[in-house]
Amino acid sequence: MSKAKRNGGLRFQPAGGSRTLQVPAGKKQRLTIERLAGDGRGIAFFEGRTWFVSGALAGEEVEARVLNAHGKVVEARLERVFSPSPLRREAPCRHFARCGGCNLQHLPHADQLDLKQRLLAEQLQRVAGVVPEQWAAPLSGPEFGYRRRARVAVRWDQRAAKLEVGFRAEASQDIVAIEDCPVLVHPLQSVMRHLPMLLQSLDKPRVVGHVELFAGTALAMLVRHTAALAETDLARLQAFCSEAGVQLWLQGEGEPAPVESNASLGFVLEPWKLELAYRPGDFVQVNAGVNTAMIGQALDWLAVQPSERVLDLFCGLGNFALPLAQQAAEVVAVEGVQVMVDRAAANARSNNLNNVRFFQADLSQPLSASGWAAEGFSAVLLDPPRDGAYEVVRNIAALGAKRLVYVSCNPATLARDTLELVKQGYRLKRAGILDMFPQTAHVEAMALFEVDQRR
């Protein structure tokens, strides 16, 4: 008997017409990749849906497995390549197929740089309608062994009665067991190799929330715990760190604190003979080599003269402010978090720099009400978070700065703020990418703006 007969001759449909069935997770689909998205995933179009396939390259015919789907968008993972791109290489890391960390390892490093440069150019052109008068060469360093900070995921598997240690899988809360990570600096690779066995040997492993590793003037390991550590476990952690030459830091309810009260952690900016102290939890650039090159380029582009007053916004620990203070008559450095302001001021004092002043301010708001802005500046440096600095740049011309360097970790918000700077009377003189995170699609950039004298 037909369905129509069983329903008394009526055919029922959901309100609004026929319903589009979702693509189930786990389904495999053969696709042709048209181009790469901004996050490095391949884009394909099939049966009215847009597919984003991690691990795929433009021009490839592939089989992809669905991770999840919502509406007309399907997120998938490469399963098989039928016709590879001539650019494809074997991923150097054996965990590439599952780890969610380094999603461009299948693309040679030079082509990674080309992709990032293209993504920056597309954003500037599409959003702001501008092209820099000059493109700067990418600032880059070694493609592996560069990362001086890493957060290691830890979770107790109740069913298996085992502590999982590693990094998050792509588009999942699953933890990929990892004992070697080639993007870590070499001293941290050694620590990482022995870390899972150490944590799994603890008497009360359930209380470990996560672990962070740091490399600077010293090696350090922060253990975040959700309840008090057993004395035996604390002793194990201390013994491991002592043998590995690593500082042990703990964090329960309060702020991170070293087990040895006299422990200090920092990083050196060698060209300027500066040492900046920091504590686990503070923001520091993970790539020391590119960070140094970035500071050098920013100082070169700003070309600060000894008589000039300079403004450093989103100053953090003083990463730019302290080198700037060696060139300028005065530096005013502003940060949103008071603890970071205090640490930056302490870093200036420890480096005998007396011509830099630090202030706390909400940089999501206009600057006009701030007393330190009243005297004006010759040059400005901004290094905002991913949200950008829209409220800051809306009235930045009132500060009188003729030159402005914008360091960005998000090309989309850089392009948005570029449009506003053009409205403020600046022109984009120079721009280029900063390869802070090789093997990933993450794009950092630097742009130089100057007052447009043609207006």
Active site residues: 409
Integer Cα distance of 196 and 200 in angstroms: 6
Tokens of 297: 């380029």
Query: Are 367 and 400 spatial neighbours (Cβ–Cβ below 8 Å)?
Result: no
**Burial of residue 2, with CB atoms counted within 10 A of its CB: 0-12 exposed, 13-18 middle, 19 or more buried:** exposed
Nearest 5°: the CA angle 99, 104, 110 is 150
Nearest 5°: the CA angle 92, 192, 91 is 10
Tokens of 361: 């301010």
How far the first Cα of the chain sits from its last, in Å, is: 80
DSSP state of 372: G
Integer Cα distance of 302 and 406 in angstroms: 10
Integer Cα distance of 383 and 392 in angstroms: 12
Q: What are phi and psi of 34, to 5 degrees?
A: -85, -45
CA contacts within 13 A on the Cβ side of 140: 20
Integer Cα distance of 122 and 111 in angstroms: 16
